[in-house]
Amino acid sequence: MKPRIQRFSSSKEYFFVEGCYINELANSAQDPAVSIARARIERNVTTHWHQLSATTERYVILEG
């Protein structure tokens, strides 16, 4: 994959059915091994449980 700089754009955020807002930072067919997204959850909200196959999720908690 060709290196590139991708800037964060808050306008690309969308509401996801699990109860959070998602902004996909890296998720393309050119690099299927990588998916990076920012998830934002409103105060006092709990998201729905989910399960993934063959994917490892890692979380970075920015605040809260």
| Predicted confidence (pLDDT) per residue in 31-42, tens digit | 777 778 889 999
Question: 64 near 43, Cβ under 8 Å?
Answer: yes
Task: Identify the pLDDT of residue 29.
Answer: 81
Q: What's the CA gap between 40 and 24, in Å, rounded?
A: 11
pLDDT at position 15 over 90: yes
Structure tokens at 55: 């994917």
